[in-house]
Amino acid sequence: MTASNRSLQWREKVIDPLFESRTDQMIMYELAQKLGFADQFLGKKDGKQNLRLVKVKGRDEPSMEDTLRNEVNKGCWTIGYTGQSPERLQAHMRNQHVFDVKTLRARGGKDAKTGYDLTGDYYGLPWPCYGSAAIKHPGSPNLYDTSKHPMDGGMTFRALFGVEKDGVNLLAEDGIANKGSDITTGYPQFDHVLLKKLGWWDELTDEEKKEAEGKTWANDLSGGIQRVAMKHGCCPFGNAKARAVVWNFPDPIPQHREPLYSPRPDLVEKYPTHDDVKVFWRLPTLFKSVQQKAVKDEMHKKYPLILTSGRIVEYEGGGEETRSNPWLAELQQDCYAEINPKTAADRSIRNGEYVWLSTPTGAKLKVKAKVTEGIGPDTIFVPFHFSGWWQGEDMLPFYPDGSAPIVRGEAVNTATTYGYDRVTMMQESKTTLCQVAKA
């Protein structure tokens, strides 16, 4: 289990699965057996086997220790899940008392069961924890912390985008490196060539050399390149600048662009959206032509208010499940629109009355007015957890018997307009236009 501070915890099984249920790893192994690749699943090769089988409820399942050590640790050289072996994590669980609650670090202590020396480890070996378990990287309590040696949990920014772009150096500048680093300026990712150039190659053992020849820090399965780089105070993945210019995004530096349906034509002129794209993930996608049509059709006059949607604390997601729970459903029995007192007064809308909310899609939603200072006079907020009403009508008769949530209401996303963010592919549900009127 990984906690939100990236510390890992080894958890022991509490009970065997009840009745006919099985563990996940048992199901996976048995499925692999049925599909005829059980040997590959267990990593059987040359008389060796990655995953030993253990008996649970009289059936075989792959050992979890082996799964972490021989699958996860071995397969994660580039992402820093290599040092967190089951043995180290289990020793942490047995000796929680030796870790400092503020720094997370063990000031000393030996595991009574295995003799493992805990000194210097951060609790749970917070990700990333580089190198093989044997070199005892302590884990990384804070990311990108150059004030520490890499073997004390220090880190640089990865040199992930090359070393220069348009003649500008992308690596860290002189003087920026980890504490104790033998290289005191930026450097690229480590590979066999760099190691040889630096004259550090011979610090690899003969075994490691065999494996590391022709390899980089990322695919040298001996872990030698990582070990030697970190010994010299260097991060195997290089030392670069944080990248603020993302040249492979449509806007290399984020810049304001008005939404497709904007309340301000003057701002559309100044901050237009992207041009239409002919092939965008295989689909022709409209941006600018939709925005300009909205301006031409004067949508901002017909729909002068900004419509935004979001969460409320009572419900979750689309709300089907939470609106079916009587304790929660009672707390919020209607879909509603938050309306500023001025906006409401201008339209003779009173708190708690039904209003019609309409948007440029032609949708009309019937929701309760919640008149509150909590929203500005130019904006309307509608929670997105409701469904079951369609343009003012409760769809209750269409639910199969007994399946209707206790509380139903208009789904705001039936009224939000076309458009989405080019980079994240996130639909535009937070900025569109609407009008509200007394129902």
Partner 1 sequence: MARMKFLCDAERCIECNGCVTACKNENEVPWGVNRRRVVTLNDGVVGAEKSISVACMHCSDAPCMAVCPVDCFYRTDDGVVLHDKDLCIGCGYCFYACPFGAPQFPQAGAFGLRGKMDKCTFCAGGPEPDRSEVEFKKYGRNRLSEGKLPACAEMCSTKALLGGDGDVIADIYRERVLRRGRGSEVWGWSTAYGLPPKPGAQPPVQQQQPAPTSGKS
Report the nearest approach of partner 1 to the CB of residue 406 (Å). 9
Q: Which long-range contacts (CB under 8 A, 24 or more apart) does 297-304 make?
A: 299/261, 299/360, 299/433, 300/261, 300/262, 300/263, 300/264, 300/265, 300/433, 302/360, 302/435, 303/261, 303/358, 303/359, 303/360, 303/433, 303/434, 303/435, 304/263, 304/378, 304/433, 304/435
Q: Which of 214, 304, 326, 392 binds partner 1 (CB under 8 A)?
A: 326
**Nearest-angstrom CA–CA distance, 386 and 411:** 5
Comparison of 117 and 334: residue with beta carbon closer to partner 1: 334
Return the exposure string of 170-190: e unless at least 16 CB atoms fall within 10 Å of the residue's CB, then b: bbbeeebbbeebebeebbebb
Report the nearest approach of partner 1 to the CB of residue 343 (Å). 13
Per CB under 8 A, which region of 160-168, 211-219, 327-335, 421-429 contacts partner 1? 327-335
Q: Which of 8, 375, 407, 411 binds partner 1 (CB under 8 A)?
A: 375
**Nearest-angstrom CA–CA distance, 3 and 9:** 8
Q: Which residue has the tokens 């290089």?
A: 238
* Preceding omega of 128 cis (within 30 degrees of 0): yes
Helix (H) or strand (E) holding 94: helix 86-94
Report the nearest approach of partner 1 to the CB of residue 374 (Å). 3
Report the nearest approach of partner 1 to the CB of residue 330 (Å). 5
379 makes contact with partner 1 (CB under 8 A):
no
**Nearest-angstrom CA–CA distance, 165 and 195:** 24
Q: Which of 194, 328, 365, 369 binds partner 1 (CB under 8 A)?
A: 328
Report the nearest approach of partner 1 to the CB of residue 322 (Å). 11
Nearest to 91 by CA among 125, 64, 58: 125
Report the nearest approach of partner 1 to the CB of residue 428 (Å). 25
195 makes contact with partner 1 (CB under 8 A):
no
Question: What is the phi/psi pair of residue 300, to 5°?
Answer: -70, -15
369 makes contact with partner 1 (CB under 8 A):
no
Question: Residues near 356 by Cβ (< 8 Å), separated by ≥ 6?
Answer: 364, 365, 366, 392, 436, 437, 438, 439
Helix (H) or strand (E) holding 73: helix 73-75
372 makes contact with partner 1 (CB under 8 A):
yes
Kindly report the number of other CB atoms within 10 A of residue 305's CB atom: 23
| Stretch 62-101 residues interacting with partner 1 (CB under 8 A) | none
Comparison of 105 and 370: residue with beta carbon closer to partner 1: 370
Report the nearest approach of partner 1 to the CB of residue 367 (Å). 18
314 makes contact with partner 1 (CB under 8 A):
yes
Per CB under 8 A, which region of 104-112, 123-131, 284-292, 320-328 contacts partner 1? 320-328
Q: Which of 164, 207, 298, 373 binds partner 1 (CB under 8 A)?
A: 373
Comparison of 76 and 331: residue with beta carbon closer to partner 1: 331
Tokens standing for residue 334: 């209607």
Q: Which of 1, 14, 313, 425 binds partner 1 (CB under 8 A)?
A: 313
Report the nearest approach of partner 1 to the CB of residue 273 (Å). 31
Comparison of 139 and 405: residue with beta carbon closer to partner 1: 405
Q: Which of 202, 213, 297, 330 binds partner 1 (CB under 8 A)?
A: 330
Q: Which of 327, 362, 398, 403 binds partner 1 (CB under 8 A)?
A: 327
Comparison of 152 and 314: residue with beta carbon closer to partner 1: 314
> Sign of the CA dihedral 114, 115, 116, 120?
positive
Per CB under 8 A, which region of 23-31, 93-101, 178-186, 367-375 contacts partner 1? 367-375
Question: Residues near 228 by Cβ (< 8 Å), separated by ≥ 6?
Answer: 195, 200, 203, 204
Helix (H) or strand (E) holding 225: helix 224-231
Report the nearest approach of partner 1 to the CB of residue 52 (Å). 44
Comparison of 357 and 375: residue with beta carbon closer to partner 1: 375
Comparison of 47 and 374: residue with beta carbon closer to partner 1: 374
331 makes contact with partner 1 (CB under 8 A):
yes
310 makes contact with partner 1 (CB under 8 A):
no
Phi-psi region of 100 (alpha: psi -120 to 50; beta: other; left: phi over 0): beta
Report the nearest approach of partner 1 to the CB of residue 349 (Å). 16
Count of residues in contact with partner 1, rule CB under 8 A: 11
Nearest to 299 by CA among 220, 362, 353, 253: 362
User: Residue 365 carries which side chain, given as an amino acid letter?
Assistant: L
Contact positions vs partner 1 (CB under 8 A)? 313-314, 326-328, 330-331, 372-375
